[in-house]
Structure 1
Amino acid sequence: MHTSRHHPPPGGGRTGWYQDAAHCPQMVVLPAGRFTLGSPPDEPEREPWKAGTESPPIEIAIARRFAIGRLAVTRGEFAVFVESTGYAVEPGARRWVDDGWEVDPHATWAAPGYPQGDDHPVVAVNWHDAMAYVGWLAAHTGRPYRLPSETEWEYAARAGTTTAFWWGPAISPATAAYRDSREPGTVAADAFAPNPWGLYNVHGNVWQWCADGWSDTNAGNPGDGRARDNGDGRRRMVRGGSWGSAPKYLRSAYRSSLPAGHRFIYTGFRVACALE
């Protein structure tokens, strides 16, 4: 039985948000639409990790509306899942030290090695943990919750914009959490201003797992919002950058991946849900 609530946005915009229960993520309803996936050739600092990863630009047509998390899944929301199911997340999460990854054997989603509140995004969860959460959420609510495709993620992050960040071409400590912008660690999942479609922290704070396996370029994208099924399933897409990332990695078009079974103190996720 649903206890769903719907909140139309101020001014009667095209999107609204609902919540199936108080312990479930708040979901923003996004319209069908078109956008260009990837970055234009003249965007500063494009493809900083590997040439071709944000190319070629692909015209995407999303035919049906869908919902996506207003916030990244919070530590408090993840705690309800763990308490309800007894799901075990092994300790140990990676952090970047100097020029390589180091495992902190004591880091967990409940204690990642820096202060967090229940309103912060959950971190130190791998792709399989995120999939377990959305599976539980789907069974618990009777709705088809899942991870977003990377195409849906970029569509939602851009919210109709075409610049490097939804607010424009440049970033500042007043707009997002990124490396050297503040004390190390996450901020609340609803910190900073939301984008035009009401999503918080699509740039920075935590990397966000997507459904897709890694692919080196945008070539071969289905073009309709679906996750790609021809990528490397051992590595899964992450989007958005984190509090430990340089600004160039927070851009809407930036694509990266992480091993699906590894946990990182910088990485969480937001959920999506089909509506029709």
Structure 2
Amino acid sequence: MGLAAAMFLSSQSLPVRADDLSLPEMTLVPAGWYWQGSDEIERDYAYRIDEQIYGEDMARRNRWYDSEIAKWRIYLPKFEISTTPVTNAQYAAFIKDTGHPAPGVTREIWDSYGLVHGFEATRPFAWKDGRPRAGRENHPVVLVSWQDAMAYTRWLGEKTGDTWRLPNEAEWEKAVRGPDGTFYPWGNIYDPTRLNSADRGPFDTMPVKSFPAGPYGLYDGAGQVFEWTLTQQQPGARIVKGGSWDDRGCGVCRPAARHSRPEHLRHILIGFRVLRVAPHKDK
């Protein structure tokens, strides 16, 4: 049986204890229709706000947002998704229990990625002696690959007896955006006071829940960190969503925005949240 098939198998649901701080807090997204993707009006808005901030049209010339899914109405069954990105403290329980490598990256591997950020930019986010840096326990975990995130979901399944996985792109977008197809979780006008982006700083991750929640009660869906999804763009690459603390504009922080990154990449801008399949007995 393949990994993907195994991750979708139903299992007897066991409740996640509310007082177990090592497990993610979960939010139920009800079954129903929602608007996924973007239309020409939304994409043009994204290009224009990027041009206003950066003073040039690189995003439009490179057609950054032209690959977004054409806006359409789609029905999804109910599911539960973590209220915030997985935090360092939550991920630390997984590391302690399994001995999985802690978030980090060597200079050689980082330089091989060819990214804009130099290796020194990774140091505040890299764990030391198997633990997150002091004061960052409630920040989203980063420097985790897609494979690392998948290993964490498997551990959650073993720990709770439930079925856990990463959200696919459609599930992630509905959970963050809500049913109405607005450009951002809060509406159609970009507001830098409602997310962690480079428009206001602090040019770093922040504690989760530092900004207002979105339509279903999720936090940090726009800005803060990009998030891995289950959706494959091409072999070896997965869609990431959400924008980050390093983005300005923030056209890329819209829930409809999408691009892919290699599954093996451990990046200071990428974290994840998890999905738990809602038990069938729940009505």
One fold, TM greater than 0.5? yes
Provide the residue aligned with 1:54 in structure 2: 68
Map residues 1-276 of structure 1 onto 2, 5 A cutoff: 2=14, 4-5=16-17, 19=18, 21-43=20-42, 44-45=45-46, 49-50=63-64, 52-62=66-76, 64-89=77-102, 91-92=104-105, 100=116, 102-104=118-120, 109-110=126-127, 116-214=135-233, 232-246=234-248, 247-275=250-278, 276=280
The structure-2 alpha-carbon separation of the partners of 1:57 and 1:20, relative to structure 1 and needing over 3 Å to count, comes to farther
Matched-pair contact (CA < 8 Å) for 1:74–1:118? yes
Alpha-carbon deviations, 1:175-229, whole Å to 9, x = none?
A: 0011131121011111111012110011000100000111xxxxxxxxxxxxxxx
Matched-pair contact (CA < 8 Å) for 2:26–2:81? yes
What residue identity is the alignment partner of 2:206? V
Matched-pair contact (CA < 8 Å) for 2:16–2:160? no
Q: In proportion to residue count, which structure has more helix? A: 2
Alpha-carbon deviations, 1:220-244, whole Å to 9, x = none?
A: xxxxxxxxxxxx1311110000101
Looking at structure 1, the residues matched to 247 and 38 of structure 2 have their Cα atoms a distance apart, in angstroms, of: 19
CA RMSD of aligned residues (A): 2.8
Matched-pair contact (CA < 8 Å) for 1:75–1:109? no
Alpha-carbon deviations, 1:71-115, whole Å to 9, x = none?
A: 1000000011001111014732759xx983544575654269998
The structure-2 alpha-carbon separation of the partners of 1:38 and 1:139, relative to structure 1 and needing over 3 Å to count, comes to same
Structure 1 range deviating more: 171-180 or 255-264: 171-180
Q: Secondary structure at the match of 2:247?
A: coil
**Gapped regions of structure 2 (runs ≥ 5):** 1-12, 48-58
Larger Rg: 2
Matched-pair contact (CA < 8 Å) for 2:105–2:126? no
The structure-2 alpha-carbon separation of the partners of 1:180 and 1:233, relative to structure 1 and needing over 3 Å to count, comes to same
What residue identity is the alignment partner of 2:139? H
The structure-2 alpha-carbon separation of the partners of 1:34 and 1:109, relative to structure 1 and needing over 3 Å to count, comes to farther
- Give the Å deviation of 1:38: 0.6
Looking at structure 1, the residues matched to 140 and 220 of structure 2 have their Cα atoms a distance apart, in angstroms, of: 10
Looking at structure 2, the residues matched to 126 and 51 of structure 1 have their Cα atoms a distance apart, in angstroms, of: 24
Alpha-carbon deviations, 1:33-60, whole Å to 9, x = none?
A: 1112111211112685535311322331
Looking at structure 1, the residues matched to 243 and 67 of structure 2 have their Cα atoms a distance apart, in angstroms, of: 15
Looking at structure 1, the residues matched to 140 and 190 of structure 2 have their Cα atoms a distance apart, in angstroms, of: 21
Alpha-carbon deviations, 1:129-176, whole Å to 9, x = none?
A: 100101101111101010000000001111123221121222333200
Q: Secondary structure at the match of 2:236?
A: strand
Q: How many residues align?
A: 244
Matched-pair contact (CA < 8 Å) for 2:26–2:83? yes
Q: Secondary structure at the match of 2:152?
A: helix
The structure-2 alpha-carbon separation of the partners of 1:80 and 1:90, relative to structure 1 and needing over 3 Å to count, comes to closer
Looking at structure 1, the residues matched to 127 and 192 of structure 2 have their Cα atoms a distance apart, in angstroms, of: 26
Looking at structure 1, the residues matched to 254 and 269 of structure 2 have their Cα atoms a distance apart, in angstroms, of: 16
Q: Secondary structure at the match of 1:253?
A: coil
Q: In proportion to residue count, which structure has more strand? A: 1
**Aligned sequence identity (%):** 31
